[in-house]
Amino acid sequence: MRAMRRSRAHPSLTQFRLCKEFGWTPQQLNRQSAKTIEEFVVILNEMDRQAEEEVEKAKRGVGHVGCDGSSV
């Protein structure tokens, strides 16, 4: 099965997230190099991917637990 590709987020959402995650003001964000921004977006994307994997792993684990809480 082919993986679904996400559409790119609107630039204002990316700017908001970078400021929120890294504690920058919009002015500080604007002073960052394009290379730095690209690297930080890669970091955020990887963090999102790992979080999604954990959610999927947890979903698969649900239903595999016995009534007494022990693994089945």
Q: What is the pLDDT of residues 24-66, one digit of tens each?
A: 999 999 999 999 999 999 999 999 999 999 999 998 887 555 5
Residue 11 above 50 pLDDT? yes
Q: Count of H helices and E strands in the chain?
A: 3, 0
pLDDT interval class at 8 (50, 70, 90): confident
3-state DSSP helix/strand/coil percent for the chain, to nearest 5? 60, 5, 35
The tens digit of pLDDT for each residue in 12-32 reads: 999 999 999 999 999 999 999
Are 37 and 18 spatial neighbours (Cβ–Cβ below 8 Å)? yes
pTM of the model: 0.67
Give the pLDDT confidence score for residue 4 in this predicted structure: 47
